[in-house]
Structure 1
Amino acid sequence: MQREGPPLELLLRRLTEIPEDFLAEPRIGSSGVIEVRAVVGDLLRRCGQVPNPAALQAFAGVDPRQDRNRLAVTLIVAWLLAEDWFQRAQLPAADLIKVLREDVAEIAPLVAAKKLVTDPERREEVARLVLAGLGCRPAGESVAQAQDRLTTLSSVERARVLKVSQVAARRAREIREALARKAAEESADKWTRE
């Protein structure tokens, strides 16, 4: 997040103005409308990069249940990355692909694609996630401010904290049950001695 990126408001407005085409059903097999590989390839060309056909294969869907939301989120992020600022920044294709593949794969199981456009907090989350994935922060924010706000909004972080708290709760329950068993055994031993 060392590099200052575009103003956050610019990205949030871009997400609210997303065309319906980018919200259409991604093509998976013979169903769907939008070929995500083509959109990602066009984005890379628009950013002055030469798309690698092997890298684009990651944006083909195979299983509708597993791939639909991931590809739908990819379309939204591709729309965001088509903002002029990202083109002028001349970011390496590997960085763009990383955001489109890895960062999207993290958030897609947790948030429905349409929420990234309709919910104000999810819009901000995806904008900040994209910037962070590219090593940028919103214009006018310090690194600490940008990181703190991303952590506050992050669905990935929230899921991680929830998982940790569930593990801790399960462990506490196991300890209580073990203590209760031990107390019952000690009580039974006491009665048998008397």
Structure 2
Amino acid sequence: MNNIGPNLQHLLRRISATPADFLDDPKMHGRGELAVAALVHDTLRQTGHQATAEQLQRFTGSHAEKDHNRLRLVALAIWVLNDDWFKSTLHDADALLSLLDLAMQQLADVSTATKYINDSERREEFARFLLARLDYRPAGESITQATDRLSALSTTERNRLLQESREAEARARAIREALAKQAAAESADKWTRE
């Protein structure tokens, strides 16, 4: 988040105004209306990059249940990235591919594209997530402010912290059980010696 990005309110309004066409069912196995791979191709071409068939393959979807939400999030991200501010700023095709592929999978694992549009906290999380993955922060915010706000909103961060907490509790429980067994064994040894 080293670079200053666009105004956050502008991005939130843009996400809220996502055209219905960008939320159509992605084309997979001859079904669906939205050719997400074509959107990715056009977006990369705007950066001066010619996408390969291999790069675009990830955006065609092979498993309807698993890929549907991810591809809808890719389309939503492309809608946001087609804002004039991004079009004049973004030129790194590798960063865009990583954002559209791996980062959208992270978001797809925790919520739906519809929630990222309709729920105000998820919408802000989506905007901040996009900016952070491209090393930007909202205009008017310091790095610390932007980082703190993203952490507070981040569903993926919350899930990671919950998982770490569960793992720590499991380790503590295992230690308590081991100590109880050790104490019982020492007590039994003491009684057999006497």
Q: Hey, what does 1:27 align to over in structure 2?
A: 27
Q: Hey, what does 2:132 align to over in structure 1?
A: 132
Q: Separation in 2 of the partners of 1:134 and 1:90?
A: 9
Q: Hey, what does 2:48 align to over in structure 1?
A: 49
**Post-superposition offset of 1:55:** 2.0
5+ residue gaps, structure 2: none
**Residues 1-194 of structure 1: matches in 2 within 5 Å?**
1-45=1-45, 47-53=46-52, 54-194=54-194
**Post-superposition offset of 1:175:** 0.7
**Post-superposition offset of 1:191:** 3.1
Q: Separation in 1 of the partners of 2:2 and 2:193?
A: 71
1:114 is paired with a residue whose SS is helix
2:62 is paired with a residue whose SS is coil
**Post-superposition offset of 1:143:** 1.5
**Post-superposition offset of 1:65:** 2.6
Instruction: State the number of aligned residues.
Output: 193
C-alpha spacing 1:90/1:175, structure 2 compared with 1 (3 Å): closer
**Post-superposition offset of 1:181:** 1.2
2:58 is paired with a residue whose SS is helix
Q: CA RMSD for the aligned pairs?
A: 1.7
Q: Separation in 1 of the partners of 2:70 and 2:191?
A: 62
Q: Separation in 1 of the partners of 2:125 and 2:133?
A: 12
Q: Comparing 161-170 with 102-111, which one deviates more in the overlay?
A: 102-111
Cα distance per residue 1:7-40 (max 9 Å; x no partner):
0000000111111111122122223221110111
Q: Separation in 2 of the partners of 1:50 and 1:173?
A: 53
1:67 is paired with a residue whose SS is helix
Query: Structure 2 length as normaliser, TM-score?
Result: 0.91
Q: Separation in 2 of the partners of 1:22 and 1:164?
A: 36
**Post-superposition offset of 1:48:** 4.6
1:59 is paired with a residue whose SS is coil
Query: Structure 1 length as normaliser, TM-score?
Result: 0.91
Cα distance per residue 1:92-120 (max 9 Å; x no partner):
22222221112212222122221111111
Cα distance per residue 1:160-185 (max 9 Å; x no partner):
21121111011011011111212222
C-alpha spacing 1:90/1:112, structure 2 compared with 1 (3 Å): closer
